[in-house]
Each structure stands twice: as C-alpha cells, then as structure tokens.
Chains A and B, each alone.
Chain A
C-alpha cells in the first residue's frame, strides 16, 4: 500500500490523519518496546487479573440491583453477621 510520507495540500483530513498514525507507528523505535510493555500490561490486567482475581464482588454474587442493595443494607445494619 503506497502511503505518502507527507500529506499534500488538498488531501482530505481523514487521509492526513490516517497517514499520521500509519507513518508514526511504522517509524517507531523506542515506541515499539513501549507498546509491547503496554499491551503485555493490559493483557495481564484485563485478561488475567480482572478475570481470575478481581471479579466485581456484587456483580458475581448477585443477579439484580435489588439483591445487591439488600446485601449492602444487611452489612450496614447487621455488621457482625458479615464475618464468616
């Protein structure tokens, strides 16, 4: 795909913006390392930590907002009952 390194007058804005990103990412050096770190980090956070270690407690234990509210109200009004 022939991409112009420099936008020319008259090129639509969308094409200029696309060229900016395309050429920018292609010419990255240090940026490639940083992007690898970002992607690995995001994968660890969202695909491993979030899924296996950080489920939303109320979302996973209760089906409706009414049940969640009821659970929290129980914790607020009978705090000794939450020890298990």
Chain B
C-alpha cells in the first residue's frame, strides 16, 4: 500500500511545510514577546513620567514594528499549503480547525490591528493611559492569536472532542470545550508563548549588549537589560516548568515521541533520564545493537518526569512497536490489524451506501466504529513505520534543554552584574549576550523539531498518517514551490535584517 504512494511528493510537501513553518517561527515569537516587553517599558514610562523610558519604549516599539511588518502573513502560506499539498487532511479537519482559526481572525487579529494603529500613530495624540492601554491590547491580541493556532496544533497531537462522520469523511467537532481545554493544547500554548517571551528577551539582551560593547546608549542599554533580564529569567524558568508539563502529557498520549526523545528502546521501571549521549544511528527497533555509543544517565528521573512516580514503567520503542503484555501495552502490529479492519469497514460502508444496502452499511459501520481509534495504523505497512526518526528528536531535545538551561544562567549573571554595575566591563560576556538571540532561535526551532518530527508518522496522532494526509499531486509541482518559498522567505529575512540592523545602528532617538 504505502510503497505505491508517491513518497517523493510527500517528502517535498513535508519539506515545504517545515521550511515555511521554520521561517514563520523566526518572526512570530519575537512579535509575541516584544509586544509584552514594550508594554512593560511603556508602563514604567507612564508610572514614572520619565521621558527616557518613553524614548526607550519607542525604540523597541520600532523594532517590534519592523519584525511585525516583515513577519505578517507568513503564516498564511501554511494555510495555502493545507489546501494544495494536504487536501485530504484539510478536508478531514476542516470542521475542527474552522472555529479556532475563525476566532483567531475575527477576535485576535482585529483586536491587534485596531490598537496597532493607536500604538504607532497615537503618541502625543491620545492620553498616556489610552496609549498604554492600546499597547497592552496589541500584546494581548497577538498572544490570543497564538492560542487558537496552538489549540489546533494541540488537537493534532491529541485529537479530542470530535466524531468521525463516515459519510463526509470528516472529523466533526462535538465538544468545543474539550478541544480548547485539552491538557495538551494548554501545556503547548503556555510553553510556546513563554518560550516566545524568552526569545524576545534574548533579542533585547543581544541588541543592548551590542550597545554596551560599542559604548553607545549605555544608560538606555542598562535600563533595557534590567527589565528584560528579569522578565526573561521568569520566562526561562516558566519554560522549564511548562516543558516538564508538556513532556508529562507527551508520555501519556504520545509515548512513542517521549521514547524517541530519550532514545529509549527497551522500557524500564525507575527509568533514568539521558542527560547527554551519542546515539547509535544504525539502531533499529528489535535488533540487538546498543541504542547509544555512550550516555550519561540520571537515575529514575525519566519515570518521575513522565509519570510523576519514580518507580513507574516508561515504555521504550520496542515495547510500543512489538507490545508488552506484562505492562499491558498493545503493539503496533495489533493496532495495524485493528486499523485495517477500520479501513475495511469504512470501505464496505461506502460501498454499501453507494448501492443502497442499509443492512450491509450498518454492519460495516459497526466494524468501523469498533476499530476507529486505530484507523491510522491501518495504513502502515510495517510496525517500524510508527517510529519517528530518533536521532533528530534526541539531539534536538537536548539542544533545546541545554540552551534553555544556559539562558537561565545568562539572565542570572546579567542581573547580578547589572546590580553590581559591572556588566559593561565584561566584554566576553557581552559578546556572548550579543549572540544569545541566535542561540534562542536555535532552541526554538529545536523545540518545534521535537514536537513535530516526534509526531511522525502522524498528521493526526494515531488517526491519519502523513502519507494519507497529502493531495494527489506531482512531486515536481511541490518541489518548485519549495524553492520559491526558499527564495521568498530568504528575501524577507534579508530585508528584515537590513532594516532592523540599520534601525539599531541609528539607536534610540535623541540619545
């Protein structure tokens, strides 16, 4: 079955989506975080009446505006791709995604857009309070947009609140609140937005560090750093906390993703967490090769993080693929058998409906409904296809966590040295701070790799593999669009970098 599907088209479609999503994610978290940072700066200005804080706010707001302008509508490309490259998927989830994306457009975007104009045009035209209110509304509006997108993504990871309509081949929403309040969606949202706050803080750290290195706008830089290092430290700690929560939910609803994150092939009680290691790239499920060339493990921590119980069993890839009777884990092969019954039931139902045989249709529908939770497995050719690419997920996870830990230390050191008024005398540290923004970008993208590559082979966890989610298109068409997007987004990125660096080199007005 799978080998007859044009996997080249699937690969190009996935590559195109990954490319556009990763470019989109360069701009978006900066908008999410910098909007709140500007709101904090302006709040200080309004509270103190100090014009230096107003200049400071206007400078960062200008950079926010540049990033917003370059990044706006880059997400629309992803919607285009749904309709063109992923038509089966977009049809099937249309009823689920329609409501969140409609709310995003009507509520969040209009809220943001309305107050955006007051924020930029309203200086000296509206009262301080009204302007400050507008700035906060832009921050809240942009983050509200993120809610709905992440609710949609959370549903892909853990589909809830829906029923499958076999006549229309669509998932239909039956419980909006179940979708909105899904623990996976909530942990996803808080983790991603707090990571965006961290990322934007690193941006301010980077620019301010550069000012200090050049011995320009020193007081401005110190003021900025004092606020964002505090904000960034809280954000970094919250990212760690919410990341733990996110992994806990992954352990429960996406155990294969967690096993891949850890390179865990054979499950264990009191499982240890791999702090660092080198994976064996040729390791396959079921073989007798070692999963690691070397590893450093922290005992029991994985069981604690995954299940909140240091003695609990954490399934490995082999347990999930081949099953583990002792731990009551159904293997992928058994799920595949049930999935194929679901596919057959759906096919028989359609055939019976076409000829008007209601009795046969009812029988087929019963077969489908009995096995529908394993529908996606019915499209796999082998149990090993249920395993995502372990090395990429393993290393991406460690890059993300390692950098996240580093950022906490960076903010703490910065705050200490600011308190001691010694920061500008630390050129090496300032250089590190200047590049920290790019490290933040790396951490961000690594996190998305963990969550989206870790989800493979599923477009919708357990229900729809990526190979079935796509459209019936030639690979050549998709390949062309990949390179078009590469050119378009690279041009946008270069434009942003040029305009942004020019504005940074100009510095805050009158300073």
Footprint of B on A, CB under 8 Å? 6-7, 20-21, 23-25, 30-31, 33-35, 37-38, 41-42, 44-45, 49-50, 53-59, 65, 68-69, 72-73, 75-80, 82-84
Contacts and interface: CB of A to CB of B under 8 A. Distances in A.
Main secondary structure of the interface of A (DSSP, over half): helix
B92 A55 contact: no
Contacts of A55: 83-84
Interface string B72-85: 11001100110111
B69 A34 contact: yes
B55 interface: no
A54 B481 contact: yes
A38 B87 contact: no
A44 B281 CA distance: 42
A49 B16 CA distance: 14
A78 B481 CA distance: 28
A33 B495 CA distance: 10
Given A24-B117, A72-B88, A77-B343, A37 B169 contact: no
Contacts of B62: 30
B168 A69 contact: yes
A73 B70 contact: no
Contacts of B499: 30, 33-34
Given A20-B118, A55-B84, A57-B83, A38 B170 contact: no
B480 interface: yes
Contacts of A73: 166, 169, 346, 350
Which of A45, A57, A58, A83 neighbours the largest number of chain B CB atoms within 10 Å of its CB? Answer: A57
B66 interface: yes
A72 B122 contact: no
Contacts of B170: 69
Contacts of B76: 45
Which 10 A-B pairs rank lowest in CB-CB distance, beginning with the nearest?
A: A24-B121, A77-B347, A56-B83, A34-B69, A57-B87, A54-B80, A72-B169, A83-B4, A57-B471, A73-B169
Contacts of A65: 168
**Listed residue (A65, A68, A73) with the most chain B CB atoms within 10 angstroms of its CB:** A73
Nearest to B468: A79
A57 B91 CA distance: 10
A16 to B, nearest CB: 9
A23 B468 contact: no
Contacts of A79: 1-2, 5, 379, 467-468
B120 interface: yes
B6 interface: yes
Contact of B117 (A21, A56, A76): A21
30 contacts: A6-B125, A30-B62, A31-B65, A31-B120, A34-B499, A35-B69, A38-B69, A38-B73, A44-B488, A50-B80, A53-B84, A53-B480, A55-B84, A56-B83, A56-B87, A57-B85, A57-B87, A57-B471, A68-B91, A69-B168, A73-B169, A73-B346, A75-B472, A76-B169, A76-B346, A77-B350, A79-B379, A80-B4, A80-B5, A82-B5
